[in-house]
A and B are shown apart, each in its own frame.
Chain A
Amino acid sequence: MMKSKNLLLTISFVLFSLVLVACSGGDETTSSKESEGKSDADGKTTLHIAALESAYGSDMWTKITDAYEAANENVEIELTIEKNLEEIVRPNMQAGEYPDVFLLATGRPEALTETLIKEDGLENITDIFDKNVYGEDVTVSDKLLEGFTDTLATNPYGEGDTYLAPMFYSPTGLFYNAGLLEEKGWEVPTTWEEMWELGDLAAEEGISLFTYPTTGYFDTVVGSMLYASGGTDFYNHTMTYEDGVWESEEATRVLETIAKLADYTHPNTVANANPNDFTKNQQLVLDNEALFMPNGTWVVGEMAEAPRAENFEWGMMPIPAFEDGEDRYAFTFFEQIWIPAAASNKDAAEDFITFMYSDEAVSIFLESGAIQPVQGITDLLEGENKMYYSIYDEGVLPAMGTFASTEPVPGVSMGDTLYGAIDSVMSGNLSYEDWQKNIEEASDKLRPAMN
C-alpha cells in the first residue's frame, strides 16, 4: 500500500515538474537567443534574415548569404526562406522573436508587412540611403534608380522618412500575343478609343478583347489609369483618401472605362478569377481566346510550360491613354526589404541591406531573374527581359505607389472595395455608380485613421 502510494507520488511529482520544465523551457531559450543575437563567443553577430521564396527560387538567397559572410567576417547569417514565410515566422514574432531583416513585399494576402506598418513596427531606415554600399565607395542612393524611394510604397506614412527599401522590380502592363496581332494585321492600341475598335474587330473573329487572372491584378491597372487620368498629384490624393476624390471627373473616367471593359471581357473570366483557376484566364491569352490581360513579367515564367497557339510571342504594352497624345503609364511593381523595429541587430541589418545594392549582389540576383532598380541595370538585361524593362525608354512613364497606411479599421478594406468588387462589375451585378459610391465610403472611413 505504502509502496504504491510512493510510486504515485513520484509519478505525479515527475509529471508536475515535466510540465514546469516545458513551460519555463521556452523562456530560457528565448532569453539565451536574445543574448546570442548580439554577438556570440567569437564576436560574431548572428543576423537572422527572413525572405519569401518567390518565383525566383531560393538559390539566390543562399548565394547572397555566402557572399555576404565572405565579405563580412563578423557576421553569421541564419536564413529562413519559405514560400509561406508569414505562417512560419508569425508565431515566433508573436512570442517576441523577430528576424532582423525581412524581404517580404506589401500586397500579400497575409499582409504581414502591412500589419507591421499599421502598428508602427518598422524601423526608420532613411539613413541607409546615405551610407556606402557595403564593400563599395558609392552611396546607396547614388546606386538606386530615381523615384523608387519617393512613394508610399517605401514611405508608408507619407512623410519624407523611408521605412522600406526597394528590391526586385517588375514593370507591369497589358500582356498579349504579339504573334496574333501581327498575323491579323492589328495595330497595338494606344488609346482606349482604339482599344474598343480593336475589341469590336476581334469580337467578329470570336476573340474577346480582355481578361484578367484575378481582380488583385487590377491594382496596377487602376494605378496606371489614375496616373494617366489626373497625373501624379491626383494619384497621391486618391492614395491619401482625400475627400470626394473618387467622385471627381478624373476618377469617374477611370471607373467608367473599367465598367465599359466588362462588355469586352471574356465570359469565363469571372468564373476562373480565383486562386485555384486564375491560370485558366492566363491560358485564354495563350490560346488566342482573349487579347489582353494585366500582368507582370513573372507571367512568362509562370506559364512557361503551358501549351500555346502557333506563333505565340509575348508582348507587353502600357495601359492605353484616355485621349490621343496624353501620357501613358506602366505601373512598376516592386518588392521591399525592411527591418522590424523589434529586431535585435539593427546596425548589422542595415549593413546587410546596403550590401543588397552591391555589384556582386545585383549580379547574383540577376542570374535568377530578380532585377533590382539600380543604375545601368537595363544594359545588363538580355532577350525578353530587355524588352519589358525598356518599356520606359519609349516615352512611357513609370507609375509607382500604394495606398497610405492607416490604423487598422475593422471591416473596411480598400482592396476589396476597389479591386475585389470588379468581379461584380464585370458580371453586371454592380453598376459603376454604386461601385464608385462604395469606394468613396471606404475612403471616408479610412481618412481619419491615417497614421
Chain B
Amino acid sequence: MVNKKWSRRFFIGVCITPALLLLTLFMVVPTVQVFRMSLYSWGGFSNNQEFVGLNNFILLWDDMNFIRSFQNSIVLIVFVALATIIIALFFAYLLTNAKVKGSSFFRIIFYIPNILSIVVIAGIFSAIYDPESGLLNNVFGMFSLENLEQKWLGNQKIVIYSVAGALVWQAIGYYMVMYMSSMASVPKSYYEAASLEGAGKMRQFFSITLPLIWTNIRTTLTFYIISTINLSFLLVEAMTGGGPDGSTEVFLSYMYDQAYTNSTFGYGMAIGVVVFIFSFVLAAIVNRITKRDVLEY
C-alpha cells in the first residue's frame, strides 16, 4: 500500500519535472536576474558590475521622462481597455443576438486585424494618420469638417490617443470572438422569457447577458493589462519611435532605451522591476474589485 502510494508520487514527480525545470530555467531564473540586476550599476558588457543598492529606484523617482512614460502607459491601458470592451461587447451582442446577415463573415473581418503583425499595423495606421493623404483627414475633409483635421502623429497632445486607436482596432476582433463564445452559451429561453415580460434589448443585455458572461469579462480585463503593456511597446517602436520628443514613450520603450541606447542596463532593469510589480498589482486590484458571485445556469 505504502509502496503504491510512493510509486504514485514518484510517477507524478517524474511527469512534472520537465515542466518544472523549464519553468525554472526560462521564467524564474531570468526574473530573479532582473530583480538582481536592478540593484547594480552596469553597462551591459563589462565585468564591473557595481552594487548600488536601491539607488536606481531613487533615481527613477526623480526621472521626469520615466514618469511621463508611466503616465502614457496608464493612459493607454485605461483607454484601450475601456474602448475595446465597449466596442467588442457591442458587436458581440449584435452578432450573436440580432439576426445580422452574414454574421460569420463579419466575425472573420473583425478578427483579421488580430492576425496582422504589429509592424503591418504600424504601416496601416501611418497611412491612415498621414496629414496629407491620410484616410482620416480626407474623410473629415469630405464632410467639410476641416476643423477636425489633425496632425495625428505630430500633435503632441493627441498623439498618444492615435496610438491607442491603433491598439483598439487590432484588439476588438479577438475580444469580440471571446465574448461571442460565452454569449452563445447563454440559453435562448432566458431572452424569450425576458421579452415576454416586456424587457427591451438594452434591458436584456444588462440584466441577462452581462451578468452571465461576467467571469469571461473578468479574465479579459487581465488580458487587456498584459497585452496593452506589451503591444504598446511594439507599436510605439515601429510607428512613432517614442516621438515626437518622447510624447508616445511607454515604460517598456523607455526601459529599452535606458538598458541599451543609454548603456544603463541596471537602471533599465529597475524600470523592468517597477513594470513587473505594477502589472501584478494592477491585475490583482482589478481582479479583486470585479469579483462577483458566479452565476450558474
Q: Which residues of A contact B (CB under 8 A)?
A: 1, 5, 8, 11-12, 15, 19, 93-94, 109-112, 114-116, 118-121, 214-215, 267-277, 280, 408-413, 416, 420-424, 427, 429-430
Known: A111-B263, A118-B263, A271-B131. A408 touches B241 (CB 8 A): no
State how many angstroms separate the Cβ of A421 from the closest Cβ of chain B.
5
Say which residue of A120, A268, A413, A420 sits within 8 Å of B154 (CB atoms).
A268
Chain B residue nearest to A283 (CB atoms) is B132
Complex Cα spacing A427 to B246, Å: 13
Q: A12 — which chain B residues lie within 8 A by C-beta?
A: 14, 17
Contact with A along B129-158 (1 / 0, CB 8 A): 111100000000000000000011111100
Complex Cα spacing A151 to B275, Å: 40
Is the beta-carbon distance between B238 and A276 smaller than 8 angstroms?
Answer: yes
Is the beta-carbon distance between B264 and A272 smaller than 8 angstroms?
Answer: no
State how many angstroms separate the Cβ of B9 from the closest Cβ of chain A.
11
Chain A residue nearest to B150 (CB atoms) is A271
Is the beta-carbon distance between A111 and B261 smaller than 8 angstroms?
Answer: yes
Chain B residue nearest to A287 (CB atoms) is B132
Contact with A along B222-253 (1 / 0, CB 8 A): 00000000000000011111011110000000
Q: B105 — which chain A residues lie within 8 A by C-beta?
A: none
20 other contacts beyond A267-B131, A275-B241, with CB at 8 A cut-off?
A1-B7, A11-B14, A19-B21, A110-B260, A111-B260, A112-B260, A114-B263, A119-B46, A119-B48, A214-B243, A269-B154, A272-B131, A273-B154, A416-B246, A423-B245, A424-B245, A427-B154, A427-B155, A427-B156, A429-B245
Chain A residue nearest to B153 (CB atoms) is A271
> Could you write out 18 A-B pairs with CB less than 8 Å apart?
A15-B14, A19-B21, A93-B45, A111-B261, A112-B260, A119-B48, A214-B241, A267-B131, A268-B151, A271-B130, A272-B131, A274-B153, A410-B262, A411-B60, A411-B65, A412-B262, A420-B245, A420-B246
Q: A423 — which chain B residues lie within 8 A by C-beta?
A: 156, 243-245
State how many angstroms separate the Cβ of B52 from the closest Cβ of chain A.
10
Is the beta-carbon distance between B245 and A430 smaller than 8 angstroms?
Answer: yes
Q: A109 — which chain B residues lie within 8 A by C-beta?
A: 261
Tell me how many residues of B have a C-beta within 8 Å of chain A. 50
Q: A408 — which chain B residues lie within 8 A by C-beta?
A: 41, 43, 262-264, 267
Is the beta-carbon distance between B45 and A94 smaller than 8 angstroms?
Answer: yes
Is the beta-carbon distance between B263 and A8 smaller than 8 angstroms?
Answer: no
Q: A412 — which chain B residues lie within 8 A by C-beta?
A: 262
Complex Cα spacing A430 to B247, Å: 13
Complex Cα spacing A422 to B244, Å: 9
B1-24 contacts to A (CB < 8 Å): 7, 10-11, 14, 17-18, 21
State how many angstroms separate the Cβ of B219 from the closest Cβ of chain A.
33
Q: Is B56 an interface residue (CB 8 A)?
A: yes
Is the beta-carbon distance between B239 and A116 smaller than 8 angstroms?
Answer: no
Q: B200 — which chain A residues lie within 8 A by C-beta?
A: none
Q: A5 — which chain B residues lie within 8 A by C-beta?
A: 7, 10
